[in-house]
Amino acid sequence: MGIFKANDIRGIYPEELDGERIRRIGYNLPAVLKAEKILVGRDARNSSDEIFDVLSQGIRDAGANVVDIGVCDTPAVYFATVHYGFSGSVMITASHNPPEYNGLKISGKSAVPVGPDTGLKEIETLITEPLAIMKKRGKVESLNIEDDYSAHVHRFLGRSSRLKVVMDCGNGAASIFIHDIFDDYFFDSCFLFDTPDGDFPNHGPNPLDKGSWVEIHEAILERNADIGILFDGDADRVIFFDETGNFISPDIITALIGQHYYGRKKSDKPMFYDIRSSKSVSEYISSLGGTSSACVTGHANIKKLLKSENGLYAGELSGHYYFSENFYCDSGFIAAAIVCDVLEGFHLPLSQIVQRINPYSFSGEKNFSVRSTEFVLEKVKSQYSDGDINEMDGIRIDYKDWWFNLRPSGAEPLLRLVVEADTIALMEEKVGEVSGFISSIED
């Protein structure tokens, strides 16, 4: 796959995503975004400063100005784009990918993502064409968003919390503003790896990698914490752990957030959940009097859906949570604030709350590297044709006491499998069965 992905531009720097391409991307952004000023933020990766310089050179060569907000998390760029009224922005990040990767997340007015059909394909074509020389070169100016951004996230915090909380920044971009936002809020808080370091020396930037869970698990138990919170490399994703240090599947967190909007606020607006989610999500939202629907994943799809359907919020199995009150954008900090506020009001251990929400057994995500995703999907669909098939996002096939979803990754040549069943034994059996069939296709 090339550097132009489904939702962003991403690759190994500088072997795949090289300086000349970045400069040319920058040069074409003002025309594609129809912007005289472009806001740019960057994560803590070692290559991000260098990419900022080259990208800015391209933007300025096109006659537009660059507004630099420095090292920050991706949701901070979304916030600043809307709050200060920019027509376009770029976040330099590779999110959860390993340190050698970097990339560009491009947004238009109102922080609307620029995807293949809204500018990315056009940029991919334009960067191969000759560059015109502009008479007037743009400039770089700086903007400090710290106070405004912190105040925005504070709107989602309840009153001072009695919780004991462990937060793991993973040496990523969450480190920049986390103390401004959460210091002095919790009764007892512990911040792990809250110094930005592009080498990610303590664990990788992918929060769904179990190797990233060791330290937070230990800290939760050592401090007798009520909850653990782990951010990805650019803090647009977040995952949670209960008081025993056990991982909580993000779809269950999606359901739990419903307590905030339906249990307390009694909203009549809909929410949306990843089609790979446990069926307990829709069941729990219904029990609160709310309305829910499955949706296709990907931040461009979900943001558009939330806005068009006047939705409240949405959650993905990847740990992205989107909020209409946050310009329909995803935010790890806001999700953390709401979940902690909900937990505070339950007066129960988080593990017990999770058990009440979800009685089913869920596999979590399993990845398969395949030669042709389309070929494998067709074979699997044929093999399980006796089930109830939904092709909204990959294939989801439901049976009476279990279901599975198999879908292609938007950024990598992978198929992602999740399985849910009424019992642990059945879930494990079906994971083995479907996995074995996929492997047999590739043999």
Q: Known catalytic residues?
A: 95
Residue 417 · residue 366 · CB < 8 Å: yes
Please, which contacts does 217-224 make with residues 24 or more away whose CB atoms are closer than 8 Å?
A: 217/241, 217/245, 218/245, 219/166, 219/168, 219/190, 219/192, 220/166, 220/244, 220/245, 221/245, 223/164, 223/166, 223/188, 223/190, 224/164
CB atoms within 10 A of CB 133: 6
Pairwise CA distance, residues 289 & 419, whole Å? 27
The arrangement of strands across the sheet holding 247-248 comes to 186-192, 161-168, 227-231, 238-241, 247-248
* Distance between CA atoms of residues 341 and 281, nearest Å: 19
Q: Nearest-CA neighbor of 189 among 200, 173, 178?
A: 178
Q: How far apart are CA 396 and CA 390, in angstroms?
A: 5
Non-local CB neighbours of 355 within 8 Å, separated by 6+ positions: none
Q: Residue 320: what residue type?
A: H
Cis peptide before 14 (omega within 30 of 0): yes
- Rounded CA gap, 235 and 74, in Å? 7
Q: Which residue has the tokens 């047999």?
A: 440
DSSP letter (8 states) at residue 163:
E
Question: Of 155, 164, 167, 168, nearest to 186 (Cα)?
Answer: 164
Q: How far from each other are the two terminal CA atoms of the chain, in whole angstroms?
A: 22
430 is written with which tokens?
């079906």
Q: Which amino acid, residue 434?
A: V
One-letter amino acid at 215 equals: E
Considering only CA atoms, give the Rg of the chain: 22
